[in-house]
């Protein structure tokens, strides 16, 4: 009998100790079918488009097959997510065909493309569903009779929004090639595209932690930052018409972009999750506090939001001033409402230990990917500009972000950092990260000026 594939029960003091089956023995039929499907898709893409790829791009494609399979085996909801997103994206691509030839005009002619599956339509549906998901999570927080039902609905809507975000991104990738072979590129090249990336990555990581800890009670806080990103995305779409696909600037015409940008935004997304859970931690911790000087830092957070419209109005080069006053005014009201109702909210939040643990794990994952992204960025810079590091403002602030979270993890692992200090540090870390991501683009210039707001 093979101990790797069978369970052996050992009696020890009245208890039972089981040896788990081996890794591959734990795979079910659907796991193997999914692996076969991903392998077939990868082989098909290599066969159809291999002539248009260089060696590096082929290596990325080949590496994606086992990576995606392993991810789906590790977290099984990924199977349905990727199959649904790929199926809808392929349907959209098929709808673009007329007599065997793709037509860009079909985006405004075919019903399903116009209202659901073109990149812009899918991303607008994503935006609405993320707003709805956030609303239902908060209704669940305050509901006394059907809280679990509302939170479950919020979670389901988040899943659908992530699916449509992936569909929109995949179809946008295809649409870019319809405009011209020299225009086609992976949709991670400008603020519009990376905000879509940030939104669905952050939501997907939250959904993993929701499943891992079997609680939806973190969703209300995490989805706030996703909705904030979607709010920026909508402004950027309307004021700058950023949804229009543009050719890549020369600095971005590199296969490094396919690796560097997604790795960066896994870091940004998980840092955002950690910050929002840190906020939830502080709310739960202060639920019974009545002394004003103990609550002052949290109220200060709401006051700061009231002044941020002035910063954005001065930093944005044109348009949208009134939008930002409303945007941050609503944000300040939300923060104030959360602080005022902190007692009721605290009752619905998970234990402080759970919030602290997820906050730590999110920062650990984010730090790992942000480190990888920074190394990849240095290699990309060496190829594009002839040097690994030039102390460009974007690079400098990326280093500040890295040092901030390196120090946080060092204090956590070496000194046992926990509780209030860790939560405040994670919350301030989001401010630093946001400036590195957006503030540098708005106020500073350098080699990364192609990302100006």
Enumerate the domain spans of the chain: 116-451
CB neighbour burial string for 205-226, b if at least 16 within 10 angstroms, e if fewer = bbbbbbeebebbbbbbbbbbbb
Return the pLDDT at 217. 93
pLDDT in tens, the chain (453 residues): 444 444 444 444 444 455 678 888 889 999 999 999 999 999 999 998 888 787 888 898 999 999 999 999 999 999 999 999 999 999 999 999 988 788 888 989 999 999 999 999 999 999 999 999 999 999 999 998 899 999 999 999 999 999 999 999 999 999 999 988 888 889 998 889 999 999 999 999 999 999 999 999 999 999 999 999 999 899 888 877 888 898 888 778 888 888 999 999 999 999 999 999 999 999 998 886 666 666 667 666 656 655 555 555 555 545 556 777 777 778 878 888 888 888 899 999 999 999 999 999 999 999 999 999 999 998 988 887 787 888 888 889 999 999 999 999 999 999 999 989 999 999 989 989 988 888 777 766 655 555 555
> What is d(CA 123, CA 236) in angstroms, rounded to the nearest whole number?
13
Return the pLDDT at 362. 97
> 9 pairs with which residues across the strands?
18
Q: Distances from the Cα of 354 to the Cαs of 134, 210, 279, 304, 418, in angstroms?
A: 21, 11, 13, 28, 12
DSSP string, 94-153: HHTEETTEE-GGGGGTSHHIIIIISHHHHHHHHHHHHHHHHHHHHHHHH-SSSHHHHHHH
Angle at which helix 292-315 crosses helix 321-340, to 10 degrees, equals 170
> What is d(CA 305, CA 294) in angstroms, rounded to the nearest whole number?
19
Whether 45 contacts 61, CB under 8 Å = yes
Return the pLDDT at 203. 98
DSSP, res 52: G
Alpha-carbon torsion, ordered 384, 388, 392, 394, to 10 deg: 90
What is the phi-psi region of residue 320: left when phi exceeds 0, alpha when psi lies from -120 to 50, beta otherwise? left
Return the pLDDT at 102. 85
DSSP, res 418: -
> What is d(CA 162, CA 166) in angstroms, rounded to the nearest whole number?
6
> 15 pairs with which residues across the strands?
12
> What is d(CA 198, CA 406) in angstroms, rounded to the nearest whole number?
22
């Amino acid at each position: 009998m093979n101990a790797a594939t069978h369970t052996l029960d050992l009696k020890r003091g009245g208890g039972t100790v089981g040896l788990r089956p081996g890794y591959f023995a734990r795979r079910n039929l659907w796991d193997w079918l999914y692996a076969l499907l991903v392998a077939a898709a990868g082989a098909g893409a290599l066969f159809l488009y291999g002539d248009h790829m260089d060696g590096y791009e082929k290596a990325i494609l080949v590496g994606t097959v086992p990576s995606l399979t392993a991810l789906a085996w590790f977290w099984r909801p990924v199977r349905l997510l990727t199959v649904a997103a790929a199926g809808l994206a392929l349907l959209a691509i098929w709808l673009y065909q007329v007599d065997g030839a793709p037509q860009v005009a079909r985006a405004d002619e075919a019903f399903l493309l116009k209202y659901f599956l073109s990149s812009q339509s899918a991303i607008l549906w994503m935006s609405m569903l993320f707003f709805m998901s956030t609303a239902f999570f908060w209704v669940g927080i305050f509901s006394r009779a059907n809280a679990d039902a509302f939170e479950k609905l919020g979670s389901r809507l988040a899943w659908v929004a992530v699916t449509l975000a992936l569909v929109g991104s995949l179809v946008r990738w295809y649409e870019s090639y319809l405009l011209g072979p020299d225009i086609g590129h992976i949709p991670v090249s400008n603020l519009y595209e990376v905000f879509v990336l940030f939104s669905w990555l952050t939501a997907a990581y939250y959904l993993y932690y929701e499943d891992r800890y079997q609680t939806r009670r973190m969703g209300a806080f995490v989805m706030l930052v996703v909705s904030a990103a979607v709010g920026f995305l909508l402004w950027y779409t309307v004021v700058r018409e950023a949804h229009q696909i543009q050719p890549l600037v020369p600095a971005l015409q590199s296969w490094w972009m396919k690796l560097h940008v997604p790795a960066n935004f896994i870091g940004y997304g998980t840092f955002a999750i950690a910050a929002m859970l840190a906020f939830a931690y502080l709310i739960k911790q202060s639920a019974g506090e009545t002394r004003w000087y103990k609550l002052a830092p949290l109220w200060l957070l709401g006051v700061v939001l009231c002044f941020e419209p002035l910063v954005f109005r001065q930093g944005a080069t044109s348009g949208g001033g009134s939008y930002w006053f409303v945007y941050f005014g609503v944000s300040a009201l939300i923060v104030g409402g959360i602080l005022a109702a902190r007692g009721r909210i605290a009752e619905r939040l998970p234990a402080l230990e759970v919030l602290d643990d997820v906050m730590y794990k999110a920062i650990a994952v984010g730090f790992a990917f942000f480190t990888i992204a920074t190394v990849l960025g240095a290699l990309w810079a060496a190829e594009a500009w002839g040097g690994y590091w030039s102390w460009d403002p974007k690079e400098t602030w990326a280093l500040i972000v890295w040092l901030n979270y390196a120090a946080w993890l060092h204090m956590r692992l070496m000194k046992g950092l926990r509780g209030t200090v860790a939560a405040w540090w994670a919350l301030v870390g989001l401010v630093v990260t946001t400036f590195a991501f957006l503030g540098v683009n708005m106020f500073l210039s350098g080699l990364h000026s192609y990302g100006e707001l």
